[in-house]
Amino acid sequence: MDSIWIKGGSTLKGDIPISGAKNAALTLIPCALLTEEKLTLANLPRLADVDSFGHLMNQLGVSTSVAGVKKGEFGRKVTFQASDISSTVAPYDMVRKMRASILVLGPMLARAGESTVSLPGGCAIGDRPIDLHLKALEAIGAEIELAAGYVKASAPKGRLTGGDYSFPVVSVGATENVLMAAVLANGRTQLFNAAREPEIVDLCNLLVAMGAKIEGIGSGHLIVDGVEGLHGTTYEVMPDRIEAGSYACAAGLTGGSINLIGARPDDMQATLNALAQAGLVIEFHEKGIRVSANGGLKPLALSTSPFPGFATDMQAQFMAMLCRAEGQSFLEETIFENRYMHVPELRRMGAEVEIHGRSAVVHGVPKLTGAQVMATDLRASMSLILAGLAAEGETEVLRVYHLDRGYERLEEKLSAVGATIERRSAG
C-alpha cells in the first residue's frame, strides 16, 4: 500500500493550480442521466471518487469517453451519454465505496420513472442518514419503499408531480438529489431552507445550461418549474475551494507564499476571513488568490456551519495550522459528530490538542516533529500532510488512498512549490 513521505522544514513558495472541485464533480456527473444527449464536463479532476462514479454510470448504461490530455495538464474533459438507461439499479458493491452514489437516485427517478439504490454503508466521520433525501423526493411525488437494504423509488404515473418541501436542517446532498429530480417533474417545486453551497450553485447553473428552469439560485429558496426534457451541453467544473483552502494553510504553516491559480474568492470567503484572522496576507489578482505568511500565526476560535459559514471540510487542515499558532485556539464541529480522528495522529507529531465532545482546544507548540502517522479520512489525511510539511525531520503518512479520493496529484503540486515529498510503494 502506498504512503506519502515528507521531509519537513521547507518554506513553500510559488504557484499551485487549483483542480476542479470533487464535491461539484460528483454532483454534475449524474446530470447525464437526465438527457439522452451528450453531457461534456471539462476540468473534471482525476480522483478515485470521480473514477468510481464513472464506473457506476457505466453500470447504469451511460457511455463515457475521455478527451486526450496534454502532458502537465490537470483535469480531464469527459463526455457522458445516457442514450438509454439500461439498468435503474445502483448495487451495494458500487454504493458502499462512495456515499455520493446516492445522487443517482433523483435523476434516474426523474428520467426513468423508477430508481433502486442501495442504502449507503457507514462513514468514518459519522452518521449521514439519507432520510431527508427520501422525504424531499416524496414531497414532489415519489413513492418510496425500503426493502433488503435498498431504496426503491417510483413515480406513480411515470413522472414526478413537483411540490413544496422545507428542509428541517440544511442538507447539501438532499438538496442536490431533489433538484435533479424536480427539473423533469410535471409541475412546480419549491425548496425552502435549501443548501446554498457553491457546489449547489454549480449544479443549478449546469441544469439551466441543459434547459432547466430554476429561480433563486444561490439562495435558500429554490423554485423549479419542471420541463418536458433536457438537452446536452458542455460545462466546466468549478475550482475546488477546499483544495485551495488546504494549500493556503500550507503557506501559513511553512511561512511561505502560494499563488492559488484559478481559486475564486467568492466561494471561500469564510476560509479567507479565518486565514486573515490567523495573520496571513490575502491578495486577489486576475489569476486567483495569493496567500502569504506574515510572521507568527495567531490563534483562532472557529465553528463549522453550512455555507456561507466556515466549512467542516476545512476544520482538520486549520487544526494542523493552529498547532503552530502562538496561543490557544478553539474549534467547534457542528456538522459531523466524529470528525476529530486526526487528533491522535497529530499528537504523535507533538501537537497538544484536547477534545471535549464536539469541541477542541488547540495549544500552539514551538515545533512539530516528524513521525509515522495513519490517515483516517480524506480531510484528516490532508491535515497530516500539512503537519508533515512544517515538522522537523521525516513524516510518513499511511493509507493515502483517502488522499487520492480528493486531491489531484498532490505530491506534484507541493513539489513544485518547494516541498520535499514523494509517494512510496510498499514492497
- Show binding-site residues for phosphoenolpyruvate: 22-23
- 381 burial (CB, 10 Å; 0-12 / 13-18 / 19+) is buried
Q: Residues marked as binding for UDP-N-acetyl-alpha-D-glucosamine? A: 99, 128-132, 313, 335
Query: Which stretches within 2-104 are classed as H helix?
Result: 22-28, 48-59, 92-95
Q: With beta carbons less than 8 A apart as the criterion, state whether 362 and 318 touch.
A: no
Which residues are annotated as catalytic? 123
Cell numbers linked to 69: 490530455
- 188 burial (CB, 10 Å; 0-12 / 13-18 / 19+) is middle
Tell me the chain's radius of gyration from C-alpha atoms.
Answer: 22
Q: What is the arrangement of strands in the sheet containing 76-81, beginning at the earlier edge strand?
A: 63-66, 76-81, 38-44, 233-236
Q: What is the Cα–Cα distance from 258 to 246, expressed in whole angstroms?
A: 11
Q: Residues marked as binding? A: 22-23, 99, 128-132, 313, 335
Q: What is the Cα–Cα distance from 335 to 305, expressed in whole angstroms?
A: 7
Q: Is 394 helix (H, G, I), strand (E, B) or coil?
A: strand
Q: What is the Cα–Cα distance from 26 to 176, expressed in whole angstroms?
A: 10
Q: Which are the contacts of 312, defined by CB distance < 8 A and separation ≥ 6?
A: 304, 333, 334, 335, 336, 339
Closest CA to 407 of 69, 10, 23, 84: 23
Q: With beta carbons less than 8 A apart as the criterion, state whether 329 and 353 touch.
A: no
Is the preceding peptide bond at 308 cis, omega within 30 degrees of 0? yes
Q: What is the Cα–Cα distance from 380 to 398, expressed in whole angstroms?
A: 12
DSSP 335-367: S-SS--TTHHHHHHTT-EEEEETTEEEEE--S-
Closest CA to 400 of 422, 419, 427, 370: 422
Q: Which are the contacts of 192, defined by CB distance < 8 A and separation ≥ 6?
A: 164, 165, 166, 167, 220, 221
Q: What angle do CA 80, 74, 210 make, to 5 degrees?
A: 30
Q: What is the Cα–Cα distance from 297 to 281, expressed in whole angstroms?
A: 11
